[in-house]
Amino acid sequence: MSLGRLVRRHVGSHPVRAILTIGAVAVALFLFCFLRSIVTSLDAAVQESSSRRIITASAVSLFQSLPTTYLEAIEAIDGVESASRFTWFGGVYKEPSNFFAQFGTDPQTLMKQYPEIVIPEEQKQAWFNDRRGAIVGIGLAEKYGFKAGDTVPLLGTIYPRTDGSEWEFNIHGVYRSLRANVDEMTMYFHWPYLDESLENGTALGPRGTSVFLIRLADDYRGEDVSDAIDAYYAGGPQRTRTQPEAAFQADFVNMLGNLPTFLGMIGAAVLVAILFGVVNTMTIAARERMRTMGILKALGFPRQVPSRLYLMEAISFAALGGAIGMGVAWSTQGVFRSILGTQVPMYRVAPETFVWGCVICIVIGIVGGAVPAWNASRLHAVEALRRGA
């Protein structure tokens, strides 16, 4: 027998109420982790971008293609180690709801530029050697069951085939990503395959490339090379805008506008609502326990004991709910990485998020218990026994 047991019995004496309260805290903590992780994952994508890479796009808009003839000129600029074409394909796999990113690129160059994309050597070579070949991220492979040897049909939306048929890509491998700036939910294929089809009229769509991915030679500064490229095309035919990879990622995050702030506000509102919920539960519990607290006082328990019992009870609710909520957030990382795909590359719950989660739980517990605890500390035993239910 201990006071801890008394707390456990009180928690257990109203199972439905306890489950609802714990469930509410769990949902709130899960939401907190989830929303914060979206923000931190987007941030990480920017942070972990390489300063050795810059990206050239049309100065008009991201949706405007650049002529592929730029490739040679860009490669010739001082400080450019390599450049690869990179085109958003926008194909549909079976159903429009199966959205995932596909890019046409120069495979050999891309793999040199992005050492964080890792894939077994023989798979890589097989991809290089097949014009219709493609590789997919591990997340994508798991989601749709893609594996080496499969043929994936994609219906072109930006690039429809003239006979109305689907494009076919041969999967040769599955890659993993070592950094947050590259997601594992993308398919990469040969840009020339796309371009040839446009050339010979079997498909329709804009020629050129969405962007050029550029890797800098050693000892060159990204800004200088960017300026040089943009200066080269200042007079047209199409002006360019070259940015560090991180800025490019950040631009994408900025396209989401105030979303991170908005997510933060939703999260805060949910937490405050749950805090009220816990305070409410504890106030109801305290009203029912008035007599019990009077009894403890009459038996000679110090005045702090009832307060401590309420605090322990509220903290139990918060701790149990928090553990469940954070546990769910932890174990669903893979699921959300796959659902969020390219939009939030490499979604993961950062360790600090769990630390913050624990802090929030403690605050919910203490504030939730403080109201009845304060009332209890002022409670007169005779009064409590007289009025108590």
Partner 1 sequence: MAVIELQGVSKVYTKGGESLVVLDNLDMKVEAGEYLALMGPSGSGKSTILNLIGGLDEADSGTIRVGDVEVTRLDDADLTSWRARHIGYVFQAFNLIPVLTALENVELPLLLTPLGKAERRKQAEYALEIVGLADRMDHRPKQLSGGQEQRVAIARAIASDPTILLCDEPTGDLDRESADQVLELLKRLSTEFGKTVIMVTHDLKAGEEAGRVLHLDKGVVEHATTA
End-to-end CA distance of the chain: 24
Binding site for partner 1 (CB under 8 A): 1-3, 5-6, 9-10, 12-13, 291-292, 294-303, 381-382, 385
Question: Encoding tokens for residue 279?
Answer: 């305070």
- State which H helix or E strand residue 136 sits in: strand 133-137
Q: Which is nearer to partner 1, 235 or 300 (CB)?
A: 300
Closest approach, Cβ 277 to partner 1, in A, equals 23
Closest approach, Cβ 316 to partner 1, in A, equals 14
**What are the Cα distances from residue 385, in Å, to 174, 294, 379?**
71, 5, 10
Q: Which is nearer to partner 1, 103 or 317 (CB)?
A: 317
Q: Is 169 helix (H, G, I), strand (E, B) or coil?
A: strand
Question: Encoding tokens for residue 343?
Answer: 């939009």
382, 290 contact by CB (below 8 A): no
Q: Which is nearer to partner 1, 214 or 282 (CB)?
A: 282
- State which H helix or E strand residue 287 sits in: helix 259-299
DSSP-derived letter for residue 256 is: T
Closest approach, Cβ 298 to partner 1, in A, equals 5
- 372, exposed or middle or buried, with CB in 10 Å at 0-12, 13-18, 19+? buried
92, 159 contact by CB (below 8 A): no
Q: Which is nearer to partner 1, 238 or 377 (CB)?
A: 377
Closest approach, Cβ 297 to partner 1, in A, equals 7
Closest approach, Cβ 384 to partner 1, in A, equals 10
Q: Which is nearer to partner 1, 59 or 385 (CB)?
A: 385
Closest approach, Cβ 292 to partner 1, in A, equals 5
Q: Which is nearer to partner 1, 10 or 36 (CB)?
A: 10
Q: Which is nearer to partner 1, 12 or 145 (CB)?
A: 12
Here the contacts of 312-315 (C-beta below 8 Å, separation 24 or greater) are 312/3, 312/4, 312/7, 312/369, 313/7, 313/10, 313/11, 313/282, 313/285, 313/369, 314/278, 314/282, 314/364, 314/365, 314/366, 314/368, 314/369, 314/372, 315/362, 315/365, 315/366, 315/368, 315/369
Closest approach, Cβ 302 to partner 1, in A, equals 5
